[in-house]
Amino acid sequence: PPPLPPPSAMLSSRGPALCTALRRAAPGGLASFHSSARHCRAARVAVVLSGCGVYDGTEIHEASAVLVHLSRGGAEVHMYAPDVPQMHVIDHSKGQPAEAESRNVLVESARIARGKITSLAKLTTADHDAVIFPGGFGAAKNLSTFAVDGKDCKVNREVERVLKDFHKAGKPIGLCCISPVLAAKVLSGAEVTVGHEEEEGGKWPYAGTAGAIKELGAKHCVKEVTISFAAHVDTKNKVVTTPAFMCETALHHIFDGIGAMVKNVLKLTGK
């Protein structure tokens, strides 16, 4: 078959108006379109884990949802966890502490990260555009002492540093489920959500957390778990939160709500 005409000839056959529009949009020629695409950088997002398992570490479904939505959003992801012992180990089949066991938060988090994880001490704002904290009781046990001390809790030193550094740099912070208590404790006047403020017959079993958030000096905003109303965006502080498993509901609602949080975090990066 005869060879195809060069791209310029094919464009010309569609009329001079199209050629003129393309020249104005790309003065350097068609090659400049490819060049600009190569220079478009993905958002670099750090994900901070707190172990592996809802009752003593990161809630695995939440971590997975965060990673899926970040992947769909084209983000470059790096995972971190503090290199510290867990508060305790829970036998998830019984919901009871395994008294004779001890585990390391970084080592357990590596299970979710498929081994690709770094000590939280090495996380810097210079290398990332945003940071996200999935939930799970590890946020209240290993990243802080909230599970034991409530409003009088202390936050892990490296977690506090990361939150303050990203806030100071004006880079977005995403948190879901119980992890918004970290922002409430560290970032004065932050606006966050953990869902509703009443249990409503067991639908919101951890509703009391909202009261503790207020006692910490943060503003609590009532939100649903469904996608349309799931994420609260504190534009002033660039903090994005969503209830996730604070609500007893279908898994797909939680997945979609986390997607709303991730989408807003990526939007705030400006990438």
Q: What is d(CA 71, CA 263) in angstroms, rounded to the nearest whole number?
A: 11
Instruction: Give the H or E element holding residue 52.
Output: none
**Maximum alpha-carbon separation in the chain:** 79
CA neighbor of 150 nearest in space, from 216, 217, 207: 216
Instruction: Give the H or E element holding residue 173.
Output: strand 173-176
Give the pLDDT of the chain (271 residues) as one tens digit per residue: 555 555 444 444 445 554 455 455 555 554 444 444 444 689 999 999 999 999 999 999 999 999 999 999 999 999 999 999 999 999 999 999 999 999 999 999 999 999 999 999 999 999 999 999 999 999 999 999 999 999 999 999 999 999 999 999 999 999 999 999 999 999 999 999 999 999 999 999 999 999 999 999 999 999 998 877 889 999 999 999 999 999 999 999 999 999 999 999 999 999 8
Instruction: Give the H or E element holding residue 44.
Output: strand 44-48
Angle between helix 60-72 and 251-269 (nearest 10): 50
* Cα 243 to Cα 104, 122, 266, distances in angstroms: 27, 28, 18
Q: Which of the residues are catalytic?
A: 177
The token duo for 30 is 């068609």
Q: What is the domain partition of the chain in residue ranges? A: 44-269
Instruction: Answer whether 153's CB lies under 8 Å from 181's CB.
Output: yes
- State which fold the 44-269 domain adopts: Rossmann fold (3.40.50)
